[in-house]
Amino acid sequence: MGSKRKKTEKQKDFVKKKLKVGKTAAKPDNHTDTSFSSRAISLPNQSLNRKQTSDSLDDKKREEVDITHHLSLVKHHASTTRKEVLSYVEQHLPSNPSLYKNIITSCVPLIVDSSQSVRNQLSSLLIACAKNKPGLLDLHLKSIILFIHSAMTHIQPDIRNSSSVKFLAVLVDYSGSSLVRSYFIKTLKSFFTLLAWTLDDNKKSISLAITTSSATGGSTKKARIGHLLVLRKFLAVALFPNDEDLNGSKVIDISNTCMIHPLSGKYLIPSSSRPYAPLKLFAKEMKTKSSSTQNTTNSSSTGIDDGSFSLHDLSTLSTEDLETRRKVFNDVFLKPMVKNLNNFIKEGGEVGREANSILALIEKLKAETKIEK
Amino acid sequence: MSLPLKHILKELETSPSSVIPILSTLHNNKAILQTISKQDRKHLVSRTLNLTRSPVPYNKWCGVNILFVLSDDYTVLTEDGVHILAQLIKIVEQQSRSGSLLASAVDCLNKVCNQIRGKPTLTREILTPKLPTIISLFMEKLELDPSLFIHSLQTFMKKHPTTFRPFGNKLRARILEFLNSENFSNYPQKLKELVYSTLASLPVIEKTEPEAKWQADVQNLIHEMVQVVLIYREFLNFNDDSELVSIIQKIPQTVGENPAHFKALSVDVNDTRSLYLISERFSILCGILSAFINTDTSFAVRVPMGSVLAMCDIVCSINSRFISFRNDTHDPELKSTIKSTLTLNQISITKLLSKIPAMYVGSVLPHLSNVLSLLEVLIPFSNKRIDASELFNMEQFMADLLECVTNWLNLTSSLSDTTQVLRFIEVALILSEPQDVSEVSSNSSNGAQNTSNGSGKKNKNNKKKSHSSVPLSDLLSHQHLFTSSVSPRTVQIIRQFINATLKKVTIPPTQYYKIMRYIFVEATRAKRYSLESEIPVSLKDLLVDAVLYPGNEGVSLLPLVSSLLGNDPIISVFNNPRFPPLAKYAKTQSEYDIEEEDEEENEEEDEEEEIQVLANDSVKSKPNSVKAEKLHSIDVSAEEPFKRQKIVESEVTQESSTITESIPESMIFKRNEDTETFVKEVTDVVTLEEIPPFTKPESVTPVITHDTSTQLIATVEEDDNSDFEMPSIDVDDDDED
């Protein structure tokens, strides 16, 4: 009797129950329901970012909140949104100077934005910021110029074309002296890359420049006009003494003022930002191999040193003063620039005209340096 | 602690157990010898001399050293000086090898001679008769201890030139023997310098015109040096450098019949080691020349500095950078040997140039730029840049070069031409960086791997690779252990050079920032890693000078230096000025205008004087009012800022014009703004002595006060009532008062 019951029970265990149509399979006995439902509660009035309008809040704090909120949209995927954000910020520039840092740090990466309209709006925003707060671009020059150089060597031609005309021009107009003191060589080198010019005369670098220029689409005639215009402005600021500061007022010439001691002016608080940057105290310079190990084909010790700079010296030079900038330009950049500008002049048109004006500037520089000698 | 005299005398009877207490007592306690009785003194000296006569060397040595102390006493010298000298000479004669006894005896002899020298009687009676014996003895024993005897002989030569005269040639011959000996270049530097200085001092013994002899010697020496260097004409094309040829021709030829210091050099081109004899010879000659121009002489000499520097120019110009090798010198080993000998010559020249500024100071300042350009040529270049690897190979030479440049720069307070110093600054910055040995070793190991790869057998290659990779891993993980630090001497020289450059040269920004970076990094490291967090004195000086001499930079480094040197007194004066700033009167634009107008006023006054003279001449023909109007017009034509003053004057003139109508023409006085001249002129006018025909009027001469207008009116009023009239007065500058 017992065995029969066991048999039937065993048979029941191993029998597969047939599924009935329209009905789901039965759940096992040890089934646990893990489903859950959630609900969200919206408390817009209690948001940390937004203060209650009914409370008496400062306008400043309100605008800080607004700006911060808008700046968070700078990275929006839609270019129209980004453009609107930039436009809003430009129209509602805060009075609090500390917010400008956030504005600049958030917006500057848009220099290499893929959308033309966004870039246009950004340049207009930068101009408005610079006009509103003189010296702002000086403070953030390091990060801005980083993106500008990146734009000047960008793979996309429209970004390259807008880089110099829009953004570098802004820097030249509003913080030209700081720009040329710290980034003269790098910017000139970027210009050479932009215009597919070479600094070396050897065939390898010429062919490389041509191939990269054709691969990346080159630059249009209109863009070249813009580049040359900005180049002329840049050279004018870099290679000639500047008597006026940002506001158009005369820069104080300390050597002509009556002070307690002739050197008193040097012990005053510096007027430029990052005065100790050229010391490179926190930068570790990579050691470059000397040219003697690289160029073994040349004779070992017959080169006569005439004191002129070469391409290899550019990484170690400091262009804080006018004399060094002029010397670097004369020794390294002048010859290839004149050669390429003459080629542009032969093309004629607006490009030729701009190239001619740059050449006139170079002639003026040559005349001044001869007079000094 | 001083021993009693009796004890000392007892000790000296036999061999003293310890001579040091005796010596210290006799030396420190001067009272003993001053208060000693005659008998005790005699005992003391005789027992000391007995000790020196003893056959035991120790006793002799004790006796000699006690005599050294006793010779301080004048009485001992006067009484027993002869015996002491004789005994010392005897001891020196007996010595056959160098040792402490010989050195002590010679020192004692020199001391006794120094004590006697200068005292005429003692010198005449004791020293002078013994001098020839001493000199000849020293010359005989020269080989035993050259430095000792040459130094003594040099002293005798300088102090007793007349007595030394017969021995001059002999000494010169002995010294030249030294110079020509094979191992002279291996002798100690001090001995070499003694030899050179003795040779340079020999002209002092000349009877007549020692300065001429000196000059001839120097000229001949320079000529000899050039002759040695001209040997390189066999290997290098001197004609490549036309300036070199012209300078060689400018060197003067030999003067007189002085023989050369050395015999002719024999150089075997096949034996490269013989080429080094050239630089050895040149180094010796450089040493002699250095002694000649740096040793003091008792007579005035004319130093041919131009010839010396021309010779230095020749040596520096004979450089494989500027002059090519001849076609027949194609062996690379020969070429490298020649280059290294040229470098040795340049080292000798650098050492010579380094000593000149200290001796001649400002007299050689005109040669500063020439010397700096000479030294610049010695920096190793490759492809228009400084060859850093070659620089590290010649680190000592480069350090000497920087030291020489520092010595020359210290002659001046500022150098206008900065380009001359730029290369040296770069050399200093390169030398200041510690050299990474791992790079060198990695290059060599790469080369080894390449050669091993070319062997062909893979297994062996693998084995070789596995062996070489094990030690190489340390290079990667512990790279800092493979960095060789800069030697302390080089560091000191670099810092001295940078200090001199900061003070005297306006450094361009690139080099300036590199120098400042070096200073700050070193100072920060020193402060952080030193036990007492102290910055070395040399770095402290550099930091302070960086603040005091900001150069062309518009920004001072005071904040950075203050954070490092918080307690420095000079920096604290900058941070917390003690005195209030002196008010400096700054002329404003209006004051400039006032000054200019003052000058113009003076000019106008001069014009007015002339007009007045003319007016006085024509005063009779024209009415007063017209004249007054003229004066008024002159006044009104003055510039606006003075219109107010002029207006006052014009009021005065108007008033006076009304009054002058009634005044005789001769009473019209010239009015000047300067009351003093006005006073003078009035008094001049009214002085009665000049007007003999007139009697003294009742109205007294007007008392001039500050208010000239009222006084004028007052005088005029008085004169109205006077009964006499003043004659016309011609104002003439030539009239005397």
DSSP B558-575: HHHHHHH-TT-HHHHHHH
Whether A49 shows a pLDDT value over 80: the answer reads: no
Integer Cα distance of A90 and A70 in angstroms: 11
Q: How high is the mean pLDDT of chain B?
A: 78
Q: Which of B319, B384, B389 is the best substitution to test chain A (most A C-beta atoms within 10 A)? A: B384
Beta carbons within 10 angstroms of residue B653's beta carbon: 24
Amino acid, single-letter form, for residue B358: A
H/E segment holding residue B484: strand B483-484
Place of tokens 């600094």: A199
Give contacts of B 481-540 with A, CB under 8 A: 508-510, 513-514, 516-517, 520-521
CB nearest B509 (choices: A292, A310, A318): A318
- Asked if the Cβ–Cβ distance from A292 to B385 is below 8 Å, we say yes
Q: Taking a contact as any Cβ pair under 8 Å apart, which residues of chain B between 296 and 325 contact chain A?
A: 320-321
Q: Which residues of B touch A266 (CB under 8 A)?
A: 550, 553-556
Does position B617 have pLDDT exceeding 60, yes or no? no
The pLDDT, as a whole number, for residue A15 is: 77
- Contact status of B584 with chain A (Cβ, < 8 Å): yes
Helix, strand, coil % in chain A, rounded to nearest 5: 60, 0, 35
pLDDT at B285 over 90: yes
Here the tokens at position B311 are 């010779």
Name the DSSP class of B485. P
Question: Which candidate in B390, B436, B503, B555 is best for mutational testing of the A interface (most A CBs within 10 A)?
Answer: B555
Beta bridge partners of A130: none
Packing angle between helix B57-70 and helix B38-53, nearest 10 degrees? 140
Chain A residues whose beta carbon lies within 8 Å of the beta carbon of residue B389: 290, 292
The conformation of residue A332, written as its DSSP 8-state character, comes to I
pLDDT of B691 reads 42
How far, in Å, are A148, A194, A214, A218 from residue A157 at the CA level? Answer: 14, 10, 11, 7
Where along chain A do its domains lie?
Answer: 176-248+317-373
Q: Does B437 touch chain A (CB under 8 A)?
A: no
> How many whole angstroms separate alpha carbon B217 and alpha carbon B256?
9
- Best mean pLDDT range from A205-219, B320-334, B361-375, B463-477: B361-375
Residue B519 contacts by C-beta under 8 Å, 6 or more apart in sequence?
Answer: B498, B539, B542, B543, B546
Residue A314: closest CA among chain B residues belongs to which residue? Answer: B510
DSSP string, B91-158: HHHH--S-SHHHHHHHHHHHHHHHHHTT-HHHIIIIIHHHHHHHHHHHHHTTTTSHHHHHHHHHHHHH
- Which residue did the predictor score with more confidence, B476 or B584? B476
List, in order, residues 6 or more apart from B101 with CB less than 8 Å away: B57, B60, B61, B64, B91, B95
Q: Do B387 and A258 touch (CB under 8 A)?
A: no
**Contact at CB, B383 and A303, closer than 8 angstroms:** yes
Taking the C-alpha atoms of residue A274 and residue A175, their distance in angstroms, rounded to an integer, is: 13
Residue B456, Cβ neighbours under 10 Å: how many?
A: 7
Residue B308: pLDDT over 90: yes
Q: Minimal Cα distance from B322: which residue of A?
A: A302
Entry pTM: 0.73
The set of residues, in sequence order, having a beta carbon less than 8 Å from that of B521 and lying 6+ positions away, is: A281
The model's pLDDT over B346-365, given as tens digits with 9 standing for 90+, comes to: 999 999 999 999 999 889 99
Three-class HEC string of B321-374: CCCCECCCCCCHHHHHHHHHHHHHHHHHHHHHHHHHHHHHHHHHHHHHHHHHHH
Q: Concatenate the DSSP letters of all residues of A111-174 into one string.
A: GG-S-HHHHHHHHHHHHHHHHHSTTHHHHTHHHHHHHHHHHHT-SSHHHHHHIIIIIIHHHHHH
Q: Which distant-in-sequence residues (6+ apart) come within 8 Å of B205 by Cβ? A: B157, B161, B162, B164, B165, B168
Å between A360 CA and nearest CA of chain B: 28
Q: What are phi and psi of B454, to 5 degrees?
A: -80, 0
Chosen from B513, B518, B561 to mutate, greatest number of chain A CBs within 10 A: B513
In the predicted structure, residue B665 carries a pLDDT above the cut 80: no
Q: Are B399 and B486 in contact (CB under 8 A)?
A: no
CA distance B152 to chain A (A): 50
Strand partners, B386: B381
- Hey, are the CB atoms on B513 and A279 less than 8 Å from each other? yes
Dig out the tokens for B559 from the structure: 């904040």
Residue A123 has pLDDT above 70, yes or no: yes
* Chain A residues whose beta carbon lies within 8 Å of the beta carbon of residue B321: 301-302
Q: Which residue of B has its CA nearest to A272?
A: B555
The answer to whether B444 faces chain A, any CB pair under 8 Å, is no
Residue among A263, A307, A318 minimizing CB distance to B513: A318
**What is the residue whose two structure tokens read 């010391």?**
A279
Question: Poorest-confidence range of A274-278, B516-520, B564-568, B651-655?
Answer: B651-655
Written as six digits, the tokens of B623 are 């009415």
- Higher local confidence (pLDDT), A226 or B253: A226
**A56: its two tokens:** 């008496």
Beta-carbon separation of B586 and A258 below 8 A? yes
Mean pLDDT is highest, among A58-67, B420-429, B450-459, B530-539, for B420-429
Nearest CB to B558; choose among A267, A303, A317: A267
Long-range own/partner contacts, residues B212-218 (CB < 8 A, 24 or more apart): B214/B292, B214/B297, B214/B299, B214/B301, B215/B255, B215/B301, B215/B302, B215/B304, B216/B255, B216/B256, B216/B258, B217/B258, B217/B292, B218/B289, B218/B292, B218/B293, B218/B303, B218/B304, B218/B307
**Percentage with pLDDT > 90 across chain B:** 31
CB contact under 8 A, A301 and B380: yes
The total of other beta-carbon atoms located within 10 Å of residue A119's CB is 24
Return d(Cα A183, Cα A152) in angstroms, integer: 14
CA pair distance B333, B328, nearest whole angstrom: 13
Give B584's contacts in chain A (Cβ within 8 Å): 258-260
pLDDT digit string, tens, across residues B528-551 = 888 888 888 999 999 999 999 887
pLDDT band at B623 (very low <50, low <70, confident <90, very high): very low
Find, in chain B, the residue whose alpha carbon is nearest to that of A298: B383
The answer to whether B375 and B353 are in contact (CB under 8 A) is: yes
Residues A259, B388: C-beta atoms closer than 8 Å: no
CB contact under 8 A, B384 and A303: yes
Torsion of Cα atoms, B644 then B647 then B652 then B658, to 10°: -170
The residue ranges of DSSP E strands in B372-474, in sequence order, are 381-382, 385-386, 435-436
Distance from CA of A368 to the nearest CA of B (A): 20
Q: How far is B297 from chain A (nearest CA, A)?
A: 43
Residue B707 CB-density burial (10 A; 0-12 exposed, 13-18 middle, 19+ buried):
exposed
Per-residue pLDDT of B435-458, as tens digits, reads 776 555 555 444 444 444 444 444
Closest residue by Cα to residue B185 from B264, B247, B71, B262: B262
Residue A21 DSSP one-character state:
T
- Shortest distance between the Cα of A321 and any Cα of chain B, in A, equals 7
Give the closest of A270, A300, A324 to B382, CB-based: A300
DSSP state of A305: -
CA dist B555 and A275 (Å) reads: 7
CA distance B26 to B8: 9
Distance from CA of B239 to the nearest CA of A (A): 16
Q: Which residues contact residue B253 at a Cβ distance below 8 angstroms, ignoring those fewer than 6 apart? A: B223
Mutation to test the A interface, candidates B381, B383, B430, most A Cβ within 10 Å: B383
Q: Which residues pair with B385 in a beta bridge?
A: B382
Please give the average per-residue pLDDT across B422-446, as a whole number.
Answer: 75
Measured CB to CB, residues of chain A less than 8 Å from chain B are 254, 258-260, 263, 265-267, 270, 272, 275-276, 278-281, 287, 290-292, 295, 298, 300-308, 310, 312-313, 316-321, 323-324
Whether B383 and A295 lie within 8 Å, measured CB to CB: yes
CA distance B228 to B348: 14
The lowest-confidence range among A159-168, B400-409, B708-717 is: B708-717
- The arithmetic mean of pLDDT across residues B54-73, rounded, is 91
Can you tell me the distance from the alpha carbon of B93 to that of B60, in angstroms, rounded to the nearest whole number?
A: 13
Among chain A residues, CA nearest to B376: A305
For residues A334 and A328, is the Cβ–Cβ distance under 8 A?
no
Task: Give chain A positions within 8 Å (CB) of B509.
Answer: 278, 318-321, 324
What type of residue is B721?
Answer: N
Residue contact A303–B381, C-beta within 8 A: yes
Burial (0-12, 13-18, 19+ Cβ within 10 Å), B533: exposed
Task: Report which of residues A354 and A296 the model is more confident about.
Answer: A354
Closest approach of B168 to chain A, Cα-based (Å): 49
Residue A362 CA to residue A329 CA, distance in Å, equals 10
Closest CA to B501 of B428, B602, B592: B428
Pairing outcome for strands B381-382 and B483-484: unpaired
Residue from the list B320, B321, B383 with its beta carbon closest to the beta carbon of A292: B383
A298–B513 CB contact, under 8 Å: no
pLDDT per residue as tens digits for the range B109-166: 999 999 998 888 888 888 888 899 999 999 999 888 999 999 999 999 999 999 899 9
Give backbone dihedrals phi and psi of B533, rounded to 5 degrees, phi first. Answer: 50, 40
User: For residue A198, which phi and psi values (nearest 5 degrees)?
Assistant: -120, 150
User: Cβ contacts of residue A227 below 8 Å, gap of 6+?
Assistant: A161, A164, A165, A191, A194, A195, A219
Element (H, E) at B483: strand B483-484
Among A38-52, A149-163, B264-278, which stretch is predicted with the lowest mean pLDDT? A38-52
Q: Locate the chain A residue with the closest alpha carbon to B522.
A: A281
Q: Could you say which of B385, B389, B509 has the minimum Cβ distance to residue A312?
A: B385
Q: What is the ipTM of this complex?
A: 0.73
Instruction: Specify the residue for token string 């091993």.
Output: B452
Decide: B116 and B158 in contact? Cβ < 8 Å: no
For residue A14, give both structure tokens: 């191993």
Nearest to B220 by CA among B341, B304, B313: B304
Q: Are B19 and B62 in contact (CB under 8 A)?
A: yes
CB contact under 8 A, A290 and B520: no
Q: Count Cβ neighbours within 10 Å for each residue of A204-223 and write b for 16 or more, e otherwise.
A: eeeeebeeebeebeebeeeb
Say if the Cβ atoms of B510 and A275 lie within 8 Å. Answer: no
